[in-house]
Amino acid sequence: MLIRYKKTFEKIAMGLLSFMPSEKDLKKLQHTMKEYETDEDLQLFLWKEEDIIGLLGVQNHNDKNSLEILHISVNPSHRFQGIGKKMVMELKEMYADKEIIANENTAAFIEKCNLC
């Protein structure tokens, strides 16, 4: 299930975020985490089964009634088991009234999810 990020999950969240090709640089990664913690339009979710194994980061565009997926990542040991798609599906259910869009860093995968 998707749960909301809390400061106690910082290390695991940073680890998952670092799998994004755009977040390989430590300074950039730390800056991104800070943005999620301080910008109220940004929200970080984690996917929890027995452990936390996935991350989904979104930006709320209230003016356009849309939610942009900025980051999506699954622990490499748990990939190709449908978790990435499940995270997107659950997000769509949580925000059924909003249009879910991707950015250039997430479009390749999110477009795939729209087909399922």
Ligand X SMILES: CC(C)(COP(=O)(O)OP(=O)(O)OC[C@H]1O[C@@H](n2cnc3c(N)ncnc32)[C@H](O)[C@@H]1OP(=O)(O)O)[C@@H](O)C(=O)NCCC(=O)NCCS
Q: Which residues in this chain contact ligand X in the complex, by CB under 6 A?
A: 19-21, 72-74, 79-85, 106, 108-109, 112
In the bound state with ligand X, the residue whose beta carbon lies nearer, of 73 and 98, is 73
Distance CA 72, CA 16 (A): 9
| Cα–Cα distance, 4 to 9 (Å, whole number) | 10
Report the chain's C-alpha Rg in angstroms: 13
Cβ distance 47 to 38 under 8 Å?
Answer: no
**Contact between residue 65 and residue 98 where contact means Cβ atoms under 8 Å apart:** yes
Q: Which residue, 61 or 79, is less far from ligand X as judged by CB? A: 79
User: Minimum distance from CB of 56 to ligand X (Å)?
Assistant: 9
Question: Which CB atom, from 63 or from 116, has the smaller least distance to ligand X?
Answer: 116
Residue nearest to ligand X (CB): 84
Minimal distance in Å, beta carbon 52 to ligand X? 13
Q: What does the angle CA 97 – CA 17 – CA 104 come to, to the nearest 5 degrees?
A: 60
CB of 17 to ligand X, least distance (A): 9
In the complex with ligand X, the residue whose CB is nearer, 24 or 65, is 24
The CB-of-16 to ligand X minimum distance in angstroms stands at: 8
Pairing of strands 99-102, 66-74: parallel
